[in-house]
Chain A
């Protein structure tokens, strides 16, 4: 262990240093309380052997400061004092000391304290480690509960939480947000033709295409079966939900995943999409915003699939013809 000896009297310092070194521990010495506190603050100390009376910061004050600190590891404190001051022992233990030693100290007394100290610091170390592991496991479980198993995108639950938060924030600070809903065209025919295993693989690939287009701060979710939702929480001037939807549609189409069973060209897996946005002043709820996107999606499907439709009034409803060229 790494042991700090704090004593203003030089022979006590030397004696303790010799005893502790002989017991096989590393020693650091401080000639007064404030130096001891500096060393303690920089961490890495397992045990503090401190005198009661010291100039600057005295023993009990040092105990209090160590216990008030938020260091990760436990510092085991042993107070050294004269036999004629039992009240010092009580005050010291009350201030945070774990044990005490009567001066002049001998090896046996120091050794017994250090055995207890080792056990205690190890116990605290294990405890801190277990806690950190539990926190990590907790975090992982939470992540898992919000993730779609098949695609790795956010699941429906995460989507709802994010929509509620995004809508509330947009209302409060006056932001515009966008929602895009996508559906894989003729997916039932795909499954019937290629089987469900291939169908799952295709859903994973489509999800990867969507995730690839998503910008920082935006998030994609698996909305249901072969439906995906993209949430754009912060739309700026010049942002276009339609252009984003188009980028995703084209990325999926250009992935050229064969779909021989569909009744129309191209012979690849394609997406239809409906996009919309919510702007300050709108009285729509987030669920109504999603319904708007769903209506636009329905129109895109009705108009022949493999296209994106924007709900009337959404940000960037009209874009340059070059951006929509197929």
Chain B
């Protein structure tokens, strides 16, 4: 489990996103903005299928969130998603509640940090 005091964002990825346009920050705004929208739906979906114990649906939902989180530098959340994906692939979802808890913690941290980086209009 990650250190709750550590930065939930990989700042070098944020720097990279900032470098993608000529300093306007437009690319960062676009990508993080899109992430904030899609991850909200992704979170609901993941919690629902975790609760249902549907392993293949969990694997798919965690996989998508893992990739998107890594794109915006939310590495701690991406790590948790990778962990959930692995558990689901091996059909080890006995501790679904524990996984959901860890996910929720990192999700909130990543969200707060990303909103600070790219406030939603």
Chain A residues within CB distance 8 Å of chain B = 9-12, 14-15, 18-19, 22, 53, 82, 84, 103-104, 106-107
Contact = CB atoms under 8 A, between A and B. Distances in A.
Contacts of B16: 106-107
Contacts of B30: 14, 18
Given A22-B21, A82-B67, A103-B70, 18 more contacts: A9-B67, A11-B31, A11-B34, A11-B68, A12-B68, A14-B34, A15-B71, A18-B20, A18-B21, A18-B31, A19-B20, A53-B63, A82-B63, A82-B66, A84-B85, A104-B67, A104-B70, A107-B20
Contacts of A15: 17, 31, 71
B79 to A, nearest CB: 12
Nearest to A85: B63
Q: Which of the listed residues A53, A103, A104, A107 has the most CB atoms from chain B within 10 Å of its own CB?
A: A104
Q: Is the interface of A mostly helix, strand, loop or mixed?
A: helix
Contact of A10 (B20, B34, B70, B85): B34
20 contacts: A9-B67, A9-B68, A10-B38, A11-B31, A11-B38, A11-B71, A12-B68, A12-B71, A14-B31, A15-B71, A18-B20, A18-B21, A18-B31, A22-B21, A53-B63, A82-B63, A84-B82, A84-B86, A107-B19, A107-B20
A104 B63 CA distance: 12
Contacts of A104: 13, 67, 70-71
A11 B21 contact: no
Contacts of B38: 9-11
Q: Is the interface of B mostly helix, strand, loop or mixed?
A: helix
What band does the interface of chain B fall in when counting residues whose beta carbon is under 8 Å from A?
20 to 34
A163 B26 CA distance: 75
A204 B66 CA distance: 80
Contacts of B31: 11, 14-15, 18
B105 to A, nearest CB: 21
B72 interface: yes
A12 B72 CA distance: 9
B13 to A, nearest CB: 7
Contacts of A107: 16, 19-20
Contacts of B27: 14, 18
A9 B67 CA distance: 8
A12 B63 CA distance: 13
B33 to A, nearest CB: 9
Contacts of B86: 84
Contacts of B13: 104
Contacts of A12: 67-68, 71
A14 B31 CA distance: 6
Nearest to B78: A104
Given A10-B34, A11-B31, A103 B67 contact: yes
A18 B17 CA distance: 9
A103 B71 CA distance: 8
A207 B66 CA distance: 80
Contacts of B70: 103-104
B63 A11 contact: no
